[in-house]
Amino acid sequence: MLGTHQIAGRALAVLAAVSMCFGEVGAGRRVPVHLKAAGLSRSALLYIPESAGNGPSPLVIVLHGRFGSGGIVERELGFDSLAAEYGFLVAYPNGRHRGWNDGRTDAKSPRIQGQDAHVDDVAFLDALIARIEGQYRIDRRRIFLAGHSNGAFMANRYAAERPGTIAAVASVAGTLGLAILPSLHPSEPVSSLDVFGTLDHFIPPEGGEVIQHGGEVLGANALSDWWAKQDGCAPTAYVYPQTFGVFRRSHRGCPAGIGVETISVLGQGHVWPGAPHESVWLTLAAGPEMHMLDATSAVWEFFAGHPKPASTARGVKRPI
């Protein structure tokens, strides 16, 4: 049995580990946000680092995957540490029933989990951004949206429906549903980054049917090609190795300031590269983690390099 001093020592070690995870992020505030959107009560968590200062700050919104939550992705993905270092705010919204209505429902898959037709998540994100802008100084040219899995589909949907709001979108292990694709006509360019694993058996990297009747979806490269077409980029994409086992695919000929890229990780499953996972079951089900890419850093690097070009940022309107 452990003695009193041993127990106390282990308790202090645990507290030190927690401090490393949360305390070293730097001084900042975590603010719960509650609001009404489309007749429903919704919530989010907002991290505000001291480094944000008094000037207009970038805003990054991170959407969790199915069965996740804003709190889980805040703990797992590490955006708070980057926010403290670079001075941006991070919002972690909560989906209704732990999912997002990303538009994948179709005749073949009439009711996907978390895709209740009455839940208007576009309206929720509209209201959340408006609330944050009403209370904090946000740089309207630097509002970014990232998501994983179900959250990645929702991020692409919102960016396509609100191109005047979002400067750049990053999707990890998710693309766009074919059912909603014909209704999406972005009126201005949005930079896009898609990260996927070549052994993702939930969302097929080449496109097709998501497991468990999750709807027909674009493949990862097809998503990049779709955004390139919407943005006015050249159709040709160039692939080059980034690091061992990690390849980057970039479109050329985009409008000034716009980027459209994919990052593929060889042998990786349906995970956010570089992030630990709280659920052992989910880790096993999602497939291999190859530890060759820190997706959080890659996403922020892409966002930091792609603010909304000044030529398209004038007269930005905020739908409420």
The CATH superfamily label for domain 23-313 reads Alpha/Beta hydrolase fold, catalytic domain (3.40.50.1820)
Task: Provide the 8-state DSSP code for 309.
Answer: P
- Residues 192 and 141: their CA atoms lie apart, in Å, by 15
User: Residue ranges per domain, the chain?
Assistant: 23-313
From residue 205, give the alpha-carbon distance in Å to each of 40, 230, 257: 34, 21, 27
Q: How do strand 57-63 and strand 89-93 relate by DSSP bridges?
A: parallel
As a whole number of angstroms, the distance between CA 250 and CA 190 comes to 14
Q: Could you tell me how far CA 94 lies from the centroid of its own chain? A: 13
User: What is the model's pLDDT at position 77?
Assistant: 96
At residue 310, the pLDDT reads: 85
Give the length of the chain.
320
Please tell me the predicted confidence (pLDDT) of residue 291. 78
Q: Evaluate whether 96 touches 65 at the Cβ level (below 8 Å).
A: no
Both tokens assigned to 260 = 């459209």
Mean pLDDT by 10 residues, the chain (320 residues): 38 34 60 96 97 89 94 96 97 93 68 65 98 96 97 97 98 95 96 96 90 86 98 96 94 97 94 75 59 94 96 48
DSSP string covering 271-292: S-TT---S-HHHHHHH------
Could you report how far apart the first and last alpha carbons of the chain are, in Å?
A: 61
Per DSSP, the three-state class of 141 is strand
